[in-house]
Structure 1
Amino acid sequence: MKPADISQLHALGAPTISPDGQHAIVSVTRPDLESDEYRGGLWLVRTDGSTEPRRLTRGPRDAAPAYSPDGAWLAFVRGGDGAKPQLYVMPTAGGEPWKVTDQPLGVSEPVWSPDSRRLAFVARVPEEGRYGDGEPDKERPRRITGLQFRWDDLGFYLDRRAHVFVVDPFAEEHSPTQVTEGDFDHGEVAWSPDGSLLAFVAARHDERDTTLTNDVWVAAPDGSGLRRLTATDLLAAAPRFTPDGASVCFLGSTAGSDGRKLVCRNLGLWLVPLAGGATRRLTDEERLHLCEAPYVPTADGVLVTVENRGAKDLLRVPYAGTEPEVLIGGPREVTAVAQAADVTVVTVADARTPGELVALRDGGERTLTSFGRDLDVLPIEEVTGTAPDGYPVHGWIVRPAGEGPHPVLLMIHGGPFTQYGWHVFDEAQVYASAGYAVVMGNPRGSSGYGQAHGRHIIGDVGRLSAVDLLALLDAALATGGLDASRAGVLGGSHGGFMTTWLAAHHGERFRAAISERAVNAIDSFHGSSDIGWSFAHDMYGEDPARWVEQSPLTHADKIDIPFLIIHSEHDWRCPVEQAQRLFVKLRLRGVEAELLLFPGEGHELSRSGLPSHRVARFEAILDWWGRHL
């Protein structure tokens, strides 16, 4: 796999399924290097696998398909070529789609009403005079009074709040009704089974600017009868009515007594009665960390995806909160689910494909698509290290072809509360194809291994993470075929934090390093990051005096190996000053250091940046390793 081969890596969106369970529709998106955009359309798939998938639309970028409950219509969002994403509707029996909305900042989350006559959606509403066709740098100043006012890859949002709308797509004039009002963000809308209510999440409480909590709300489609269902003690997301309409499910995490502590906490499935009452957690807080992915309440329980040691399993969670049933497990990742008429369709990735559509029906499981059939990828093998305290550290090796000995890259994920797993990972494939054995894993601090596993590193992140990472590297080297004298270390975000830490404290193990979009100085991260005001205290401890000792920048005077720093100019998660401070300190000491800055990009460059920038990043990384390993 070469850098430009990212154009072959498709991404599947959340599928929608026809009411009779016979068809599914899914969006398929790929990077397009010629246009330097992401392009994709919708594909129609029979759930019995009797025919080949058929392309339904051609974009330029179509996503978020939704079947109407009567099966006659399909709603979706179309964007691309510089246009804001807008809502479209087309007949499922055949015909051209028509445009329903013309929101100045675009729309998202289309959901049909139960009678198939209306659509709810979410759109940001700009303040008058902002975000128009004029020059953004000449707009009036922003008055900021709270701690939450911007977000990486979005920008400022206090002057363009997200609101819920309802529209009749069949009217002669498509005039959406704005359901929500006020200086609050609303989103993740769902209809009640009888169509009388909309559920959504919003932080409308007085402390919203200084806490991370929000609530599940319900209101009539005209905005009347607004009512809060939860107790403002959780971070809630994705409300969905149960089939009987008596309760609302949602995803949520506990936020601590001050409403700010969410780091390394498992996301759970919750239930709240529509008539009012206490919320109830349906999944075990310690064991199960749910994915932030589409889920489905059914009559027999709730279909959810859960991280599990690098996998993502599909579970059915009973409403009684008893032990869930595993519907899909093993070394693969379920990323979204839909169900109708006793047929379940899921998107599934594994070590051979970025994702395919799979059906569970008639008592069996069947793969319906082969979008990744032309990919030629290297296999991944599991490896487990043992930390000095006896704790197992789980990971993988992606080896180049041939016997070796191969130079080695220790690759560290961000988060830290996330996981590497069983899917085609472009970074591992590109580096291994270029001749480097890639070692990657989920040390303590990662998700998917229980909440205690994730919270182990809090308050002493660098030291405790390093122990597990080096144990994993040693276990990989012990398998043979790897050259310990030619090892490099790299990572992004938290992985960049740990790259700098390892280069300073264990630099003898590595010949060179690459740190991307990293936290290097906790004190300035605390004030300059979009999440720093809460994350720093929660992750690194309550004592700012200790932040200095825990900051990789403090120890940069111990770094002597060649060091490449990659950052994006518009990164608001780990602002660019984090890179600049490290670069200046290394260069003034005479260390061989380079700073590669990407204009116009945010924290997500390596995953969703311009295709040309993603290729340029890969080429720079391979050039660096080529010079030093």
Structure 2
Amino acid sequence: MKAEQLPLLKSVSSPAAHPDGTRAVVSVTRPDFDADAYVGQLWSVAFDRAFPPRRITRGFRDTAPAFSPDGKVLAFLRATLDGKSQLHIVEADGGEPQAITERKLGVSEFSWAPDSSRIVFSSRVPEEGRYGTVEGVGAGGEDPRLITDNQYRLNGLGYTADKPAQLFVVDVPEPGAEPPVAPVGRAAKGRGTEAPSLLPAAVQLTFGDADHTSPSFSRSGGSVYFVASLHQGHDADIASGIYRVPAAGGEPEAVRPDTAPQAVHEVRESIDGEWLFFTAQDLGEDGLDFVARNTALYVIPARGGKAAMLSDVEGQDISGPLEPFGADGVLGLNTNRGSVELIKWAADGGSAVLLKGPRVAGGASAVRDVVAVSVSDASSNGELGVLEQGELRLLTDFSGALRAEAKILSPQEFTATGNDGYPVHGWAVLPEGQGPHPVLLTIHGGPFAQYTAAFFDEAQVYAEAGYAVLMCNPRGSAGYGQAHGGAIKEKMGTVDMADVLAFLDGALQAFPAMDRESTGIMGGSYGGYLTAWVIGHEHRFKAAIVERGFLDPVSFAGSSDIGWFFGGQYTGGSPDQMAAQSPMAVVTEVRTPTLVIHSENDLRCPVEQGQRYFAALKAQGVETALLLFPGEDHELSRSGTPHHRRQRFEQILAWWAKYLPSAANPSRESGPVRS
């Protein structure tokens, strides 16, 4: 794959299965260079392969499809080029979509009522005078913000305290009814100067200063469940809980008011209305101990009672979206050894893995015994399939153009053994030809995250350029149990550094096509941290790339959106602990030519981390360059604008061409292109 082929990467959403069990709808989105944005529409996919998938909407970016329980209406989010998504509905059998919201900051998530007459949605409510609520007052002309709390901004969202996410309920109009028209002339006389809204009125349910997320109706339709941090002292921890509010309006109540601190992610009631499923992480007594805490699946009687853990919290890490299955069950996803599995659970504790293997499940939707699931694997960025008798039958070929036009190289699974005998699991992606190929040791972010065996654009682009790409999940990663992930707590840069170097040495021994004399190292976020740490201790690499790195725990604490707790939990909070695990503390030992990449709007690892690291390298004469992306945040490599994502690849390959050339990426006169 080449950088200019990014538009071939089609991503497939979680499916929405129609209640009649004949088809599902998914959102298919892709990067577009002309719009310099992500575009996509909804596709209807029949479970009978005799009927090919078909595009059913034509919006700029249509996402999050969901059928009404009676199957008559399809709801979804439609975004325009400004990026704000509004809730739309369309008849399930086709027709012209109609908007039913016009929120200033858009709609983020929604859920149907069981009677198909209402939808609950979440939308950020801006403080008066901010975010365009007063005509003529732009961002630079707003009043100053007086900050008194730890939690006041988030990467990708900016300030949050002045625009909390609130919940609203809206009545769904009959999609086949005659559309309303705005009164004009005599009919408009005496009605005031403000134009009447032609959309149904939404009733606000929540009003607190915290974000209210993951809304869903109870099966009776009388209540709405949601997740929020409404407990006393919530600014001093990262805990959240489950709440319930009357669907007609009223005061929220905590479903589990006396529970120990947990971070709750999602909550859904079973189809029979008897059980409440939720996912949550335990956070220790102080509500901050999040390091390597797997997310567990719990169930509690809907009428109240004690919660029971359904998953194995040591070996399973559960994520959503949760999907009701059968009368009293639920489907969820599990992170496991470089894959994401689909598992079903019953309220009584029974479970079964429905989908496993070298693939990543992205979400599922069930109608009776029919389960539709979105997946990606080594040769596809996303497809839709159905599970039949324990087997996955693919229904789509959205990655067909990618396979036809780009060269996709299969990852080869490999496990190295460290000096202490610890197994380090990962993959190698080798270019075509006998080699010898220069080697790139890549390190993922997180650190409690994982590389998978599924399609990964980064590995494919570098392998196409002639590099053998190594990806491993060292201690500190997710998917291998909590002990594996927690091994680097207050010991960053110890066993994790040993593991990635052991994986490199093991791969060089196992794959003769790799050039052991030509190696480079690179990583982003935590991967940027470990790259910077390694080159402060090892001088074997021809060059390095440190991207959006966590590079100085001291300044990170005062500048990152999560700095007030993240660094202290990982490194420990004392100055000596921070210095003992800080790349800035060993930057004077670096000899490796290093490209530093950062985004100007990164609030997770703020740009000062990269700027100070670059300045220190520059001051001591290390060959270095600083590549800064305007308008981008911490997610540049995954969801940045298509133009910037392409430029990022081009600059990275230019750096490797200068210091680690390959046959397909030969040496050039200079490194990264100056702009």
TM-score, normalising length from structure 1? 0.98
Give runs of aligned pairs for residues 69-108 of structure 1, distance below 5 A: 69-108=69-108
Gaps of 5+ in 2: 175-179, 181-198, 661-675
Contact in 2 for aligned 1:296/1:337 (Cα 8 Å): no
Contact 2:322 2:330 in 1 (8 A): no
Deviations 1:459-517 (A, max 9, x none): 1111221100011001111121101111000000000000101111112x210000000
Quote how far apart the aligned CAs of 1:349 are. 0.6
Instruction: Show the counterpart of 2:161.
Output: 158
1:75–1:110 Cα contact (<8 Å) kept? no
Larger of the two Rg values belongs to structure = 2
Instruction: Name 1:144's counterpart in structure 2.
Output: 147
- 1:15–1:345 contact (8 Å) kept in structure 2: yes
| Residue equivalent to 1:373 | 400
More displaced 10-residue stretch of structure 1: 603-612 or 245-254: 245-254
Q: 1:294 to 1:29 in 2, by over 3 A?
A: farther
1:544 positional shift = 2.9
How far residue 220 of structure 1 moved from its aligned partner, in angstroms, is 1.3
The one of 350, 360, 364 equivalent to 2:387 is: 360
User: SS where residue 461 of structure 1 aligns?
Assistant: coil
1:269 and 2:294 correspond = no
Counterpart residue identity of residue 130, structure 2: R
1: CA distance, partners of 2:338 / 2:312: 19
Q: Is the 8 A contact 2:260 2:285 kept in 1?
A: no
Call closer, same or farther: CA 1:441–1:363 in 2, change over 3 Å.
closer
2:614 counterpart of 1:583: yes
**Residues matched between the structures, number:** 627
Cα offset for 1:8?
0.3
Distance 2:476 2:323 in 1: 26
| Alpha-carbon distance change, 532 to 297 in structure 1, aligned in 2, over 3 angstroms | farther
Q: 1:426 maps to which residue?
A: 457
Deviations 1:119-177 (A, max 9, x none): 11100000111101531011001122111110000100100010111101217641000
1:192 aligns with 2:218: yes
* Secondary structure of 1:419 counterpart: coil
In the TM superposition, what whole-angstrom CA distance separates every residue of 1:249-271 from its partner, at most 9, and x where no partner exists?
A: 11100011100111211011112
C-alpha displacement of 1:364: 4.8
User: Residue 504 in 1 paired to residue 525 in 2?
Assistant: no
2:371 maps to 1:339: no
- What is the match of residue 187 of structure 2? none
| Bigger mean CA deviation after superposition, 555-564 or 128-137 | 128-137
Q: Distance in 2 between matches of 1:150 and 1:87?
A: 25
Structure 1, residues 373-413: CA drift from partner, whole Å, max 9, x if none?
Answer: 12231111011111111110001000111000000000000
Q: For residue 516 of structure 1, what is the aligned residue in structure 2?
A: 547
Q: Which residue of 2 aligns with 1:44?
A: 44
Match of 2:245 in 1: 219
Q: Distance in 1 between matches of 2:272 and 2:114?
A: 13
Whether 1:289 and 2:317 are equivalent positions in the alignment is yes
Higher deviation after alignment, 352-361 or 587-596:
352-361
Change (3 A) 1:535 1:83: closer
Per-residue Cα deviation, 1:499-538 (whole angstroms, up to 9, x for no partner) = 101111112x210000000011001111211111111121
After superposition, the Cα gap between the structure-2 partners of 1:489 and 1:527, relative to the gap in structure 1 and judged at 3 Å, is same
- Among candidates 319, 328, 335, match of residue 355 of structure 2: 328
Taking the aligned partners of 1:93 and 1:302, their CA distance within structure 2 comes to 28
> Matched residues in 1 for 2:448 and 2:615: separation?
30
TM superposition score normalised by structure 2? 0.91
Hey, what's the Cα distance between the residues in 2 that align with 1:36 and 1:271?
Answer: 44
Q: Answer yes or no: is the 8 Å Cα contact 2:17–2:366 preserved in 1.
A: yes
Query: Structure 1 residues 381, 70: CA separation in 2 closer, same or farther (over 3 Å shift)?
Result: same
1:201 corresponding residue in structure 2: 227
The alignment partner of 2:558 has SS state of: helix
Q: What is residue 527 of structure 2 aligned with on the other side? A: 495
SS at match of 1:374: helix
Match of 1:351 among 378, 383, 399: 378
Match of 2:345 among 317, 337, 340: 317
DSSP 3-state at the match of 2:263: strand
Contact 1:84 1:106 in 2 (8 A): yes
Q: 1:73-128 CA deviation, whole Å, 9 max, x = no partner?
A: 00000003115210110001221001100000000212111111111110000011
Provide the rounded CA distance (Å) in 2 between the counterparts of 1:177 and 1:127.
Answer: 18
Give me the whole-angstrom Cα distance separating, in 2, the residues matched to 1:279 and 1:523: 39
Give the one of 484, 492, 503 matched to 1:461: 492
The residue aligned with 2:624 is: 593
Q: What CA distance in whole angstroms lies between the structure 2 residues aligned with 1:286 and 1:365?
A: 28
Find the residue that maps to 1:285 and give its secondary structure: coil
Please say which of residues 166-175 and 615-624 is displaced more in the overlay.
166-175
Residues 1:446 and 2:477 are matched in the alignment: yes
For 2:665, the equivalent position in structure 1 comes to none
Which residue number in structure 2 is paired with residue 169 of structure 1?
Answer: 172
Whole-angstrom CA distance in 2 between matches of 1:611 and 1:304: 31
Cα distance per residue 1:402-445 (max 9 Å; x no partner): 00000000000000000000211000000000000000010111
Cα shift at 1:232: 5.7
Quote the residue 1:130 is aligned against: 130
Q: CA deviation at 1:361?
A: 4.0
Asked if the contact 1:20–1:341 (Cα under 8 Å) also holds between the matched residues in 2, the reply is: no
CA distance in 2, matches of 1:291, 1:118: 27
Q: Residues of 2 paired with 1:103 and 1:30: CA distance?
A: 25
Which amino acid in the other structure matches residue 140 of structure 1? D
- 2:437, 2:388 → 1: CA distance? 45
Give the aligned residue type for 2:53: P
Distance 2:154 2:391 in 1: 43
Percent of pairs with identical residues:
46
Q: Would the aligned equivalents of 2:299 and 2:309 in 1 still touch at CA under 8 Å?
A: yes
How many Å apart are 1:28 and its aligned residue? 0.3
Counterpart of 1:563?
594
Is residue 68–residue 116 contact of structure 2 (8 Å, CA) maintained in 1?
yes
- Aligned-pair CA distance for 1:607: 0.3
Whether contact under 8 Å (2:345, 2:352) holds in the other structure is yes
Match of 2:209 in 1: 183
Q: Secondary structure at the match of 1:478?
A: helix
In 2: Cα distance, 1:535 partner to 1:234 partner: 16
Q: What amino acid is the match of 2:90? A: M
2:529 and 2:550 in contact (8 A); partners too: yes
- Alpha-carbon RMSD across the aligned residues, in angstroms, is 1.3
Q: Report the 3-state secondary structure (helix = DSSP H, G, I; strand = E; otherwise coil) of the residue aligned with 1:499.
A: helix
Mark the CA change 1:446 to 1:528 in structure 2 (over 3 Å): closer, same or farther.
same
- 1:527-552 per-residue CA deviation (whole Å, 9 max, x = no partner) reads 21111111112111232321012101
Contact 1:79 1:86 in 2 (8 A): yes
Of 316, 321, 331, the residue aligned with 1:303 is 331
Aligned to 2:517: 485
For the Cα contact (< 8 Å) 2:427–2:453, is it kept in 1?
A: no
Tell me how far apart the structure 2 counterparts of residues 462 and 469 of structure 1 sit (CA, whole Å). Answer: 10
Corresponding position of 1:23: 23
1:233 aligned to 2:261? yes
Q: 1:316 to 1:459 in 2, by over 3 A?
A: same
How far 1:246 sits from its partner (Å)?
A: 2.3
Q: Secondary structure at the match of 2:70?
A: coil
